[in-house]
Amino acid sequence: MSSRLGWAAAAAVLLVYPFVVGDDWVRAGVMAGIAAIAAIGLNVLTGVARQFSVGHAGFIAIGAYITAYFMTEQGWSFLFAAPVGTLAAALCGLALAPLATRLRHMALALVTLGLVFLVQHVIRNVSALNGGGGTRIVPDISLFGTDLGLPSVYGPFEVDRLQQYYFFVLAVAVAVGVFTTLMLRSRTGRAMGAIGEPSSELLAAHSGVSVRGATRQAFIFSSALAGLTGALTAPFVQVLALADFGLGLSIEYLAIIVIGGLGLVSGAVYGAIFVMLLPQLVEAVAPALPFIAERGETSGVSTTNFTVLIYGVLVIALLLFEPRGIAGIVQTLRDRFPKEVMPRWISRSQTSSG
């Protein structure tokens, strides 16, 4: 009963959220939902299969620019363009997967890092992808005759652009989270978890698990979700700048899964919410902090730098004291309080031996 109440409360918060906060907070909520999708994929690859990658930004860029190309140059609907962008990223993941069976740790990280620079180079030099001027303008999503960029009326409710994107992204993120949870409980997911460490690979191979096959599936799945993230990002932000898909974005996603909790679907969600909403929270409390510089001033710490500082401190603290991240903290609270007080959350969706 308490579990159902917990789910009902969470659903109520998510449904009411865009109607009780300002536009900046709704925009941050949309970005959190989009980021959660890519973070779930990266957590499967890095947290479950233990394949360390810093190339996530490259896959996201592929999904974003391929989707934008077909929406703008070919006039395709988002419903047709997004699957193509997702598939393009998945195919790149498939091409990269064989290297993961031969390389480990730093070597694999360097290869995936090279992918980010390679993707940027290709997009920068192909005018059909970059729009000819370095930035690509993308139209809004249109679903079954409804333009998400225009206010719409649903019964007694009138929703604006941000609110429509919020609910659309929320639906996609929930679907991805449920599908991933079920997948990781299947034989495919257990195989991915079995190849986590070199010592585990030998045991997995003797158990009949195809190490190469599981690695390939993890890369394809992770890159496909990154491509889907890019496909959703393009029409939402509407202006694609190649500089936004650099190494910094890959590091941000690594921070998301470390802060949220490695190997946990819920960890990816918690991490995405925290990382995407923290800048907005810092902006809100900045006037009360004397060491934060006001906009336009050079003295003091900027809100951006202070946010990055919080990320860094939190990553170090979690790695030292709670490697399971926010999801681990939630689990600890569940274990310490009666079920009537602390309902059962998603944190039981553990996806790896870590």
> Could you tell me the CATH number of the domain that includes residue 317?
1.10.3470
Domain assignment present for residue 126? The answer is yes
Domain assignment present for residue 151? The answer is no
Confidence category of residue 212, pLDDT binned at 50, 70, 90: confident
Taking alpha carbons only, the member of 44, 53, 46 closest to residue 350 is 44
Q: Residue 268: what residue type?
A: A
- Mean pLDDT score, 292-312: 80
- pLDDT for position 203: 61
With 50 as the cut, is the pLDDT of residue 349 above it? Answer: no
- Cβ contacts of 74 within 8 Å, gap of 6 or more: 81
- pLDDT for position 259: 94
Phi, then psi, of 51 in degrees rounded to 5: -105, 110
Domain range holding 58?
Answer: 2-142+158-348
DSSP state of 58: H
- pLDDT for position 354: 43
- Cβ contacts of 98 within 8 Å, gap of 6 or more: 212, 216
With 70 as the cut, is the pLDDT of residue 70 above it? Answer: yes
With 70 as the cut, is the pLDDT of residue 337 above it? Answer: no
> Residue 8, Cα to own-chain centre: how many angstroms?
24
- Mean pLDDT score, 328-352: 61
Domain assignment present for residue 148? The answer is no
Mean pLDDT of the chain: 86
Domain assignment present for residue 209? The answer is yes
Confidence category of residue 74, pLDDT binned at 50, 70, 90: very high
N-term to C-term CA, the chain: 29
- pLDDT for position 214: 85
- Report pLDDT digits (tens) over 60-69: 999 999 999 9
Confidence category of residue 331, pLDDT binned at 50, 70, 90: confident
- Mean pLDDT score, 22-37: 96
Domain assignment present for residue 153? The answer is no
- Mean pLDDT score, 200-212: 65
With 80 as the cut, is the pLDDT of residue 89 above it? Answer: yes
Domain assignment present for residue 171? The answer is yes
Question: Which of 185-189, 201-205, 257-261, 290-294 is modeled with the greatest confidence?
Answer: 257-261
- pLDDT for position 101: 72
In angstroms, the CA 256 to CA 31 distance is 13
Domain assignment present for residue 152? The answer is no
Instruction: Of 20-29, 45-54, 122-131, 345-354, give the lowest mean pLDDT range.
Output: 345-354
Confidence category of residue 347, pLDDT binned at 50, 70, 90: very low
Question: Which of 157-161, 224-228, 242-246, 350-354 is modeled with the greatest confidence?
Answer: 224-228
With 60 as the cut, is the pLDDT of residue 85 above it? Answer: yes
Domain assignment present for residue 325? The answer is yes
- pLDDT for position 332: 84
DSSP state of 191: H
Q: How many domains does the chain have?
A: 1
Taking alpha carbons only, the member of 123, 141, 21, 160 closest to residue 76 is 141
In angstroms, the CA 43 to CA 266 distance is 10
Query: What is the pTM for the complete model shown?
Result: 0.89
- pLDDT for position 339: 55
